[in-house]
Structure 1
């Protein structure tokens, strides 16, 4: 009886570990030495999807966001035209390393928000969450879009 319970506990642990390691297109994970957090995301990969982004939305669930992908990596700048909710923008390189965080982008502001010269992905989340979860340059992101490159936190 005790042996069966041990085997079931071990299997549960192993299966749980496999599930945690699985990357999904609708989820990103970020980690650093202070925190690890998961966001449900929509992908914006095509120019049309990236152009529309989160415009005209009146709200977004707390642990949700949009992941913009730029392949190949390139200089990017965002603005908040027609965006109704304040956002944090997390700029990421090809390896999944956060290179810049812009906190509290102002709805409707047309000022360009520069991400750098070699941006592979940008995660937009509700304003204030980058600070809450200590997301900063050097944090690591995991998502299946990094699987073809030198991912520092592979799936």
Structure 2
């Protein structure tokens, strides 16, 4: 009986998403970030880096990353953010994000192992790293909006709901 109820719930949710344009990935769970812009909307499965040790390690030493995956770096307060590619083996798009969820800057195809500072801006709370070239491939642009539970929902342009 319990399995049937679970199947019914999943079927109803899938049916609803077909007619509303909603998706499971847009539900603000901790493991996904959604992006909305002129291209439409999409979601990436993410790891969170929200403390000093996790942010220092980031995506270093990884030889690959699934296409719709990434890492979301989360900071407690708005601040200037710069990143580098020390010990990072794969090219990355770095998406620098304001406290409201608006994309302030995209640095495409950061070069593996390059230790040059990549400055994203001065009033930032998040950085999303995805595979190099994916922002352009999917049409993600500066000014697009991110949605995730780590944003202050009172300030978010696209709050969880």
Shift of 1:20: 5.9
* 2: CA distance, partners of 1:47 / 1:11: 39
In structure 2, the CA distance between the partners of 1:9 and 1:120, relative to structure 1 (3 Å rule), is closer
Match of 2:59 among 54, 68, 78: 54
The structure having more radius of gyration, on CA atoms, is 1
In structure 2, the CA distance between the partners of 1:13 and 1:115, relative to structure 1 (3 Å rule), is same
In structure 2, the CA distance between the partners of 1:18 and 1:29, relative to structure 1 (3 Å rule), is closer
TM normalised by structure 2 equals 0.84
Shift of 1:21: 5.1
TM normalised by structure 1 equals 0.87
1:39 alignment counterpart: 44
Kindly report the root-mean-square deviation, in angstroms, between the aligned alpha carbons of the 2 structures: 2.3
Gaps of 5+ in 2: 1-10
2:4 alignment counterpart: none
Question: Is the 1:35–1:133 contact (alpha carbons within 8 Å) kept by the matching residues of 2?
Answer: no
Gaps of 5+ in 1: 1-7
In structure 2, the CA distance between the partners of 1:55 and 1:137, relative to structure 1 (3 Å rule), is same
Pairwise mapping of residues 69-108 of structure 1 onto structure 2 (< 5 A)?
A: 69-108=74-113
Question: Is the 1:36–1:133 contact (alpha carbons within 8 Å) kept by the matching residues of 2?
Answer: no
1:141 alignment counterpart: 146
Shift of 1:128: 0.8
**SS of equivalent to 2:16:** helix
